[in-house]
Amino acid sequence: MLKEIRVFAPASVSNIACGFDAMGFAIDNPGDEVVLRFTDNVGLTIKTITGDNNQLSYNISENTAGAPVAALMKDFNIQQGVEIEIHKKMALGSGLGSSAASAVAAAYAANILFELNLSLLELLPYAIKGEEIASGAVHADNVAPCLFGGFILIRSYSPIDIVELPVPDNLYCTIIHPNIIINTKESRKLLPVDVPLRSAITHWGNTAGLVAGLYKNDISLIGRSIEDVIVEPVRGMLIPGYYDIKDAAYEAGAAGCNISGSGPSIFALSNSLMVANNVGARMKDAANRAGLSSNIYVSTINKVGPKVLYKL
């Protein structure tokens, strides 16, 4: 019987500009790590959290990694003592699905440690439970790509309908994470309740185009479809120098560039590693000019979701 497991779960880019709340993709770097371990104590405890600047709660029901494990233990009547270590490898509120990554890593680890044999689709609601704590809303466009890997469409939330989409060859993602914090809950409050039908049509043309581009392996079509006329005008304003950083990405050859999730991270997609690296350098320069320090991540698209780092 297993005693301990350590799982990596990838960062993810939700919305992908046109597909607000409905689409996302996972990247290979960065990602969070969670350790789950049986103990001789009773119940579930969070033993350690690293990399969070002391921002995360050790209270199980308030913790994105704790809540899914607690729910699994309850539903499957796990009586043993369990402790969690959470190792954050990306900043909180970065727009890279950091809470989703911790929730998915924890749920995935629990599924194996508790020998539950749940499918990814069965695990999804548990991971969503964790994400809900962070964002204050049920949305799966980080959790689902983090859990399944690749590009994911959430066609419907009720009932949940997850569609796995193909990952084109030679697609590289550049992320710039400017070192400012945007609170997801607050950021969502700025969104309009109603949008012009004309803008909505632009978005559904683009989501359809993005999916077609993924199937056709057509990175130019993918790039043309990465356009946001609804959310970007609101959220772009919250990121100093956003439009200059975006321009820099396109000038360096990116096929598409937009805000990752609720920001402040910005993603760009490119058709080669060389271009993706160059895009990162140019975005960083532009952020510097706007007075922002930043981290750059250049990554392939993660096709597999979480990964077991070790089992004991």
Which residue numbers are catalytic?
131, 184
CB of 194 to a copy of itself, least distance (A): 4
Site of interaction with a copy of itself (CB under 8 A): 18-23, 153-156, 161, 163, 165, 191-197, 199-212, 215, 221, 224-225, 230
Q: Which two tokens stand for residue 144?
A: 């689902």
Q: What is the closest distance, in whole angstroms, from the C-beta atom of residue 144 to a copy of itself in the complex?
A: 12
- Residue 158 φ/ψ region, left for φ over 0, alpha for ψ in the -120 to 50 degree band, beta for the rest: beta
The whole-angstrom separation of Cα 143 and Cα 172 is 21
Q: Are strands 266-270 and 256-259 parallel, antiparallel or unpaired?
A: antiparallel
Locate 97 and state its tokens.
């699905």
Q: How far apart are CA 176 and CA 156, in angstroms?
A: 30
Cβ distance to a copy of itself smaller for residue 206 or 302:
206
Measured from the CB atom, the residue of 14 and 294 that comes closer to a copy of itself is 14
Amino acid at 143: V
**Per-residue burial over 248-274, b = 16 or more CB atoms within 10 Å of its CB, e = otherwise:** bbeebbbbbbbbbbbbbbbbbbbbeee
Q: Smallest distance, Å, CB 17 to a copy of itself?
A: 11
Pick 43 or 192: Cβ nearer a copy of itself: 192
CB of 265 to a copy of itself, least distance (A): 21
Shortest distance, position 199 Cβ to a copy of itself, whole Å: 8
Q: Give 205's contacts (C-beta < 8 A, 6+ positions apart).
A: none
Cβ proximity to a copy of itself: between 83 and 232 the closer is 232
C-alpha dist (Å) from residue 292 to 19, 74, 213, 295: 28, 45, 33, 10
- 203 vs 246, which CB is nearer to a copy of itself? 203
The C-alpha atoms of residue 25 and residue 153 are separated, in whole angstroms, by 9
